Structure 1
């Protein structure tokens, strides 16, 4: 029987399939589309995602293909309100890696190919049922042929209109933001163009305009253009309209040329209340969609996939009790809630229409972004290095749930092997080896040294602290591992 059927081959489904395959889980990846994404769509790969890609083994290809943006500048009326610097992000990857989604998907497809996995195109999930430990899925192929597949788990990574979510009859609660937005993938030329290594936001009384750099000398321009009648959709914008908008809101000084994608979109903010039901699980846009402000959507979804993969693999390989998977929903639900809330606030602030409120906003931005601490907090939030699972059922002890900073490791980062294992950090190598021998399915056999700290720390395969105690907390650590073990009574 198939262990995992992944529905949807966008960045989230590709990430999940790659991680499951790395851990030796028998996986199929299907997508109803004929080809991968051909447009730029999601543009930013943030620091935390790159750190996790280091564990996946595909980081370098992304770094080679992307453009590094080192900050974001907010302007209004020809003056600079403030600057958020990315060089203070507490990560090796202290930048925003700008990369069109078509290239992200291309690189992930190449990565899953290294595990012998290929996307099965024009294969659609027609329906599914659950019975005990099995999901029976009906797949419909391009020629109309139907196939029944039995799988241990079905994972829906199939986007905002998820067939898997609909099959679970889960409410996708939230609302549309209401305004239309213009999107243009273009070139920006001229002395007044923003620097090619920063994200430029222009706050204007008629609405915001944002320019993102893209590799190859290109740029993405988006702008709020107000409400329209939903019954009469707008026609695609013209290059002349984009130029007029840029002149009006950004003060002129540059030309927009060479368009490859001109369109409109609307912002929806919706989320499910739970991420799984039985052996059917949701990840990415199937579980949460929100404003593109901050560039969090794709990163959050890919991190959903990485969080889920090691847990599902440990359970499927009989390394851990099935209850380990119960932590996926609470952990990622809390993150999805936070990202949706933050992105919504950024959008609301940028789209204020009252002139008095706009003036107060601009004064507040100018004041707040004058402090490095505020800049650093903003960058940490956007880069997602500040995400933690402090309230998770898997977190025990001081600082448990926090990201394990990669600089603590002088070798391979935790979770970079082909078997998902916790890593033990201790100054007592002998006791650490003895603990690892008692839990060989959960722990790396050799403990790692934590210099100058009298602590005992267990780091999860996804690089977050699971257990943290004093250097003598061996009994507590053993109880923690026993609670996860597949052999527990």
Structure 2
């Protein structure tokens, strides 16, 4: 079996390679960069991503390395407007795990290495052409040598400037926002410094300033600094620039020190209309980029990888029909649209410029964030546990497409082993065992029904594929025949 070719070794490509390798699918992962990310970049690993990582078997290493943030507090100067508590997230991981991207990549690379796969660095995708039974690709090595490879599938996890997306000719629709933003990894000092276990959002008439806690006592500061210069990029900020912003927008006794990274950026909001064609797929920033509000970008990309990996593994291993892959783009494109929409809204709310609109926003936030239902909804949205696939071609029946709460599995989660299979929940375990025997490639041994009295077929990624009345075995058989 030829190697599936993955282009890009950031968190998304590493997740994709690790999941395919765990399922026994041969992979090759290349990246044109000489080394892995050395800066903090994406900073949050959310609840749903951690749940999915349980199947990989590497969650403990991430928990040991990260810092657990338990809330996000919104303030206007020193006045608290409200707080969303991540403790309310309906997940075993009811917190935001703060972990610099360099450590995320390091831990994923170690996990991938334990599966026998190494990242090939300074290897660039020069060109590719799709064929009926695979993809012909040209890889350029650092010495200028070009290698021709045949891959049954090509997966572009190569970021916002994706060579794979350009090779497909897909339009990356969207725009860049007008504001310049400052980024600073620093240490806070002083009596009123932000809490070390929560995200602190300061809303100000000049624009927002957000402080994210980081492991090791550092914090990430992100703030707007005015309209972007159309004539060229501004120089990187200085520590005194950061201090001036903190003084003006946060108030109180708060000082910044010991900078590790100072930079500027602009927010781009772009997305492809579809996530692949034929034997070529896109995932992560190659398919969607958006505002960092909510810290959803890396998590959304990693979840793209989880979604595609089990489907591709089942097809490659002959466990399921190629039609499984047709669900990837509609499922993840809908999620991409939602994340883009939510991030844009959060950014727009935080960057309101009219004084009357700012005053109305602050009054509304104080009222809404006093309501537990609003706090709960906001926390679950940020933790990404509300993501579902109700409109998917793989979702059949009332409640299909919803995530199954992990504690309902009554054992190891679906997809935890080396073979991706659907998990059947039923009150009639004897009958379910007989069905599983007829579809051993698709179905794992059945388990006793949990929650509502339904016959459920749960996908390897923990979402309900089929939801039927408890005795509707014909519906289950029809569903399985379609996937086989």
Q: Normalised by the shorter chain, which TM-score bucket?
A: over 0.9
Matches within 5 A, 1:2-151: 2-151=2-151
1:479 lines up with 2:471 in the alignment? no
Deviations along 1:185-214, one digit per CA (max 9) or x if unpaired, are: 000111110110000000000000000000
2:404 is the counterpart of 1:404: yes
Residues 25-63 of structure 1, C-alpha deviations (whole Å, 9 max, x = no match): 110000000000000000000000000000111111001
Q: Do structure 1's residue 164 and structure 2's residue 164 form an aligned pair?
A: yes
Paired residue for 1:228? 228
Deviating 4+ runs (over 4 angstroms): none
Aligned partner of residue 401 in structure 1, secondary structure: coil
1:465 aligns with 2:437: no
Q: C-alpha deviations, 1:121-157, integer Å up to 9, x for none?
A: 0000000001101100100000000001101100000
Q: Give the SS at the match of 1:165.
A: helix
The 8 Å contact of residues 331 and 389 in structure 2, kept in 1 or not, is answered as: yes
Distance apart, 1:278 and its partner CA: 0.8
> Partner of 1:258 in structure 2?
258
Work out the CA distance in 1 between the residues paired with 2:274 and 2:456: 30
Confirm or deny: 8 A CA contact 2:159 2:286 kept in the other structure.
yes
TM-score in terms of structure 1 length: 0.98
What corresponds to 1:349 in structure 2?
349
Residues 482 and 383 (structure 1), Cα distance of their counterparts in 2 relative to 1, 3 Å cut: same
Match of 2:241 in 1: 241
SS of residue in 1 equivalent to 2:138: strand
- Please name the residue that 1:454 is paired with: 453
Q: In 1, Cα distance between the equivalents of 2:452 and 2:331? A: 28
SS at match of 1:49: helix
Long gaps (5+) in structure 2: none
State the 1:356 CA deviation: 0.7
Q: Residue 425 of structure 1 contacts residue 448 of structure 1 at CA under 8 Å; is this kept in 2? A: yes
Structure 2 residue 270 is matched with structure 1 residue 295: no
CA RMSD of aligned residues (A): 0.8
| Equivalent residue, structure 2, for 1:394 | 394
Pairs aligned (count): 484
Q: What is the CA-CA distance between 1:77 and the residue it aligns to?
A: 2.9
Q: How does 1:416-435 map to 2 (within 5 A)?
A: 416-435=416-435
Structure 1 window deviating more from structure 2 (449-458 vs 312-321): it is 449-458
Distance 2:451 2:12 in 1: 39
Distance (Å, rounded) in 1 between the aligned partners of 2:450 and 2:422: 19
Q: CA deviation at 1:252?
A: 3.7
Deviation of the 1:452 alpha carbon: 6.9
Give, in angstroms, the shift of residue 348 of structure 1: 0.6
Distance 1:378 1:342 in 2: 11
2:203 and 2:209 in contact (8 A); partners too: yes
Aligned partners of 1:259 and 1:73: how far apart in 2? 24
C-alpha displacement at 1:429, in angstroms?
Answer: 1.2
- Kept in 1: contact 2:3–2:27 (CA 8 A): yes
> SS at the partner of 1:471?
coil
